[in-house]
Amino acid sequence: MLQSINARTGLAHGAAWAESTSRDIDLAALQARQVARDFAASTTGLRATLLRGIGQRLLFAREALVALADRETGLGLPRLNGELDRTVYQLEQFALALDQGAVHLLLDEPAVAGAAPLGRPRMTRIRVPLGPVAVFAASNFPFAFSVAGGDTASALAAGCPVIVKAHPAHPALSLALAEQVQAAVAQCGLPAAVFQLVQGAGIAVGVTLVQAPAIAAVAFTGSLKAGRALADLAAARPRPIPFFGELGSVNPLIVLPAALASGAAQRAAALAQSITLGAGQFCTSPGVILVPQGEPGDGFVRELAGQLSQMQPHGMLTAGIRQSFESGVQAWCHVRGAQVLAGQAGGSAATPCATLVQVSAADYLAQPALQHEVFGPAALVVRTAALQEMEDVLGAIGGTLTVTLWGIDGDAAQVTDEIQALVRRATDVAGRVLFAGVPTGVAVTAAQQHGGPYPASTAPGTTSVGLAAMDRFLRPVALQDAPDGLIQRLACG
């Protein structure tokens, strides 16, 4: 059974309701497949209208939805109102992309007379929707990465029916959001199976959904353990399907010597805010801070520890997330060479402690247990003796959503071979490299890349944020010598 829980009191709210059964899920997938062809053939104008309709309904129901989200997550009204605005903005951006023809015609190459290899037929490259997409909602963003979030928006924009597996951390909100999406679907005259919701607290619902024969692709945001298990299931199907998973990320932030020369205190304050934002429950939270050895670095670390010691993060989203955080921090504190600079594991039942632990680069590289994500308001400072050690640490981390490099300005003379090598190493392991600011906060733009080498994501050539998120659910097809009239129809959607 599912139950809405007040995040602040831990008390149940309202009556419990049944989880989706295997039969429910199989039926939903079958119905999605039955409408997939017609929805794929729908005009981009209709799909843009659908996305805008969802956004309008979310805005109209804002007060009730935000209050419900606050009760189930405890994230606070300002944060949740901002997140709802972001969700509506995402929907509008995908609608605009559809208006601008970003889905259908990609490339039309005219025929060239003559013998091969110089001569060739006319080739027209288009994209077609994959089919029904299973979307796994995230716990930490109850609007933007949940029922009506970016995965749902991008899949609908691509012309794919969606079945959302709601997150059990906010089940009542998920039902309320699904009602708004379903109402927008109906208002557009589309079949109800274009969007469906399934729910369940255990693993069975997710496993059944991924294994449903009618599902053509999966979009997942969540833990490394759960994501890897589901990715393996998707690959083991009789007909494997793509699994677009955003999993774990430590988001290293590198403080170069030039960044310590001025403004170090302000940087430390901004970093402390980023580490504790949302109780550290952001996939882009900076979890590893690389700082040069020496007095300037010592001063920066002292300032960062002092800032974090004054922070009081709010409660975490679920008891499971809190337990995992405490276990991760305890593991840090007990490794060889660890120094606890701020906080300690095992805070009060309500809130976690903002924690900072320091190790040397040598100890970090020698102990793989330090190289995993600790999801929550904590960071690991790694002290380095040279730029080469910074490169080595990045290599040990492997895939990550972001790398931040502080201390590289616009002066070409300062971009030495060593700096260039460090930047290249950053691009080897990250989907987004920042040279200013902090990694928390992901802009919804055409150029955005929210993904990276494993374990940041299972498909590093794709993004789950930004307009290119649509590309995950569109398959290229080359049409050879297609007639003009057909190409014109396909191009206009």
Q: Output the CA torsion sign for 49, 51, 55, 58.
A: positive
What is the DSSP secondary structure assignment for residue 88, as one 8-state letter? H
**Annotated catalytic sites, by residue?**
246, 283
pTM for this model (two decimals): 0.94
Q: The tokens 């802009």 sit on which residue?
A: 443
Nearest Cα residue to 4 out of 72, 92, 98: 72
C-alpha distances (whole Å) from 167 to each of 141, 147, 247, 321, 361 are 10, 9, 15, 13, 38
End-to-end, the C-alpha distance of the chain in Å comes to 43
Provide the 8-state DSSP code for 19: P
* pLDDT score for 175: 98
Query: Omega into 455 within 30° of 0, i.e. cis?
Result: yes
410 and 474 assigned to the same domain: no
How many structural domains does the chain have? 2
For residues 234 and 213, membership in a common domain is answered with yes
- Can you give the CATH number for the domain in which 31 is found? 3.40.605.10
CA–CA separation, 144 and 245 (whole Å): 16
In a domain, 156, yes or no: yes
470, 97 Cβ separation under 8 angstroms: yes
Q: Does some domain include residue 405?
A: yes
Would residue 88 count as lying in a domain?
A: yes
CA 328 to chain centre: 21
What confidence score (pLDDT) does residue 350 get? 77
Q: What is the pLDDT of residue 400?
A: 96
In the β-sheet with 243-246, what is the strand arrangement from edge to edge?
A: 195-198, 162-165, 133-136, 217-221, 243-246
Q: Which pLDDT belongs to residue 479? A: 95
Same domain? For 199 and 270 the reply is no
Does residue 367 share a domain with residue 227?
no
**List of residues 6+ apart from 473 with CB closer than 8 A:** 129, 130, 133, 154, 155, 158, 159, 160, 217
Calpha distance 212→127 (Å, rounded): 24
Q: Are residues 282 and 400 in the same domain?
A: yes
Rounded Cα distance between 371 and 172, Å, is: 36
Q: Are 205 and 198 in contact (CB under 8 A)?
A: yes
Looking at the structure, tell me whether residues 422 and 461 fall in a common domain: no
Transcribe 325-358 into DSSP letters. Answer: HHHHHHHHHTSTT-EEEE--SS--SS-PPPEEEE
3-state secondary structure of 289: strand
Q: CB atoms < 10 A from the CB of 443, how many? A: 11
Alpha-carbon span 162 to 36, nearest angstrom: 10
Q: Annotate 108-119 with b (16+ C-beta within 10 A) or e (fewer).
A: eeeeeeeeeeee
What single DSSP character describes residue 265? H
The CATH code of the domain that includes 311 is 3.40.309.10
Whether 445 is in a domain gets the answer no
Place of tokens 């502080």: 406
Same domain, 360 and 296: yes
Range of the domain at 362: 253-434
pLDDT attached to residue 416: 86
Q: What is the pLDDT of residue 116?
A: 85
Q: Mean pLDDT in each 10-residue stretch from start to end of the chain (493 residues)?
A: 92 94 97 98 96 98 98 95 98 96 84 91 95 96 97 98 97 98 98 98 95 98 94 98 96 96 93 95 96 96 95 89 92 91 70 94 93 94 96 94 92 80 96 96 94 96 96 96 88 70
Residue 120 DSSP symbol: B
